[in-house]
Amino acid sequence: MEKIINKIEEIALKIDNLIKTGESGYSETSNQTGDIQLKLDIQSDEIIEEEFKDVDSIKAIISEEKEDILNLNEDGEYVVCYDPLDGSSIVDYNLSVGSIFGIYKGGLNGENIVASIYIVYGPRVEMVKTIKGSKPIHYRLVGDKFVEQGEITMEQKGKLNAPGSTQKNWYPYHKELIESLFQEGYRLRYSGGMVPDLHQILLKGGGLFSYPGTTDKPKGKLRDLFEVIPFALAYIEAGAEAIDDKGISLLELETEHPHDTSPCFFGSKYEIAKVREAYNGK
Ligand code: AHM
Ligand code: MG
């Protein structure tokens, strides 16, 4: 695990440099979900594959940018699932983006995640590492080293509301939930990048990030293995909650296909209680 984490730190430096110096714009290919890939998506994916290739403990890797699992070492213990560069629609407009890694042992389900790491490429480069059973740890890149900033603990209630997806396609009960939080005084904070949006709520200690199922996409947009489960681990270990639209913990998600998606809600206890109330029986 130590070796994987060290590699992810090296990867973060390389992707940060790529974002700053690489070419903008689209490539001529699309990924598994049908999104046209940016040149940066493809190059970030190549960096990660190259770096992970010589890590003996990695059995296989699965990238959001590729259809299939790539087997690396038969005797490896871990499968690493990753979104090389999350925020394809905003990176060329110079908003913050991220990389997300979920490390799984013994099967690709929520209960088998053993660690998650995400990197935020913003005005600063930061990393949050969560090992199952311990609080997430926040790091900041200083020079070429990640320096520990401390453990992350969420409060019972926050002030931020980050509602994802297309509002026109929201179910009425979801609309009521989001509106009721604004009526209570919550402030809108949504950049279109789940990494900076979820990072802000974690560091500020509370709030709600939601990406619901909608009339056009009942299973939402965010991918279980690369996006949903890794952040669920960070939120739950920080003392917050992460649930789906049935109120089930996202760490209980069972996936059938590597690119499965799920409606998801990440937040402190107070806001998640509101989600459960709004979605009860729906
Ligand atoms: P991507 O993996 O293609 O970049 O899409 C994922 C991103 C998330 O970072 C973000 O929360 C979401 O898409 C935003 O989607 P929307 O614009 O529908 O709210
Ligand atoms: Mg993504």
Output the pTM of the full model.
0.96
pLDDT tens digit sequence for 186-220: 999 999 999 999 999 999 999 999 999 999 999 99
Cβ of 41 below 6 Å from ligand 1: no
Average confidence (pLDDT) over 49-65: 96
Distance CA 193, CA 185 (A): 23
Of 43, 13, 45, 11, residue with least CA distance to 25: 43
- From 133, 151, 169, the end of a domain falls on 151
Cβ of 88 below 6 Å from ligand 1: yes
Answer for the pair 198, 152: CB distance below 8 angstroms, yes or no.
no
Question: How many structural domains compose the chain?
Answer: 2
- Same-domain check for residues 164 and 147: no
- Same-domain check for residues 103 and 147: yes
What's the token pair of residue 183?
A: 């009526």
Report which ligand 1 atom has the smallest distance to the Cα of 89: 4
pLDDT of res. 25 = 81
What residue's CA is closest to ligand 1, atom 14?
A: 192
- Same-domain check for residues 175 and 142: no
- From 123, 151, 179, the end of a domain falls on 151
Confidence band of 17 (pLDDT split at 50, 70, 90) = very high
Q: What are phi and psi of 164, to 5 degrees?
A: -85, 170
- Same-domain check for residues 92 and 184: no
Q: What is the CATH number for 13?
A: 3.30.540.10
- Ligand nearest to the CA of residue 212, numbered in listed order: 1
| Residue found under tokens 């790529």 | 18
193 C-alpha vs ligand 1 centroid, how far in Å? Answer: 6
| Range(s) of the domain holding residue 226 | 160-279
Q: Is a pLDDT exceeding 80 seen at residue 26?
A: no
- Same-domain check for residues 78 and 176: no
∠164-169-172 over CA atoms, to 5°?
95
- From 151, 168, 203, the end of a domain falls on 151
Confidence band of 38 (pLDDT split at 50, 70, 90) = confident
Of 57, 71, 63, 16, residue with least CA distance to 42: 63
Q: At a CB cut-off of 8 Å and minimum separation 6, what does 27 contact?
A: 36, 37, 38, 39, 41, 42
- Same-domain check for residues 140 and 167: no
Ligand 2 ion: residues within 5 Å (CB): 83, 86
pLDDT tens digit sequence for 240-264: 999 999 999 999 999 999 999 999 9
| 78-86 and 70-71 beta bridge pairing | unpaired
Q: What is the CATH number for 244?
A: 3.40.190.80
DSSP annotation of 64 reads: T
Cβ of 120 below 6 Å from ligand 1: no
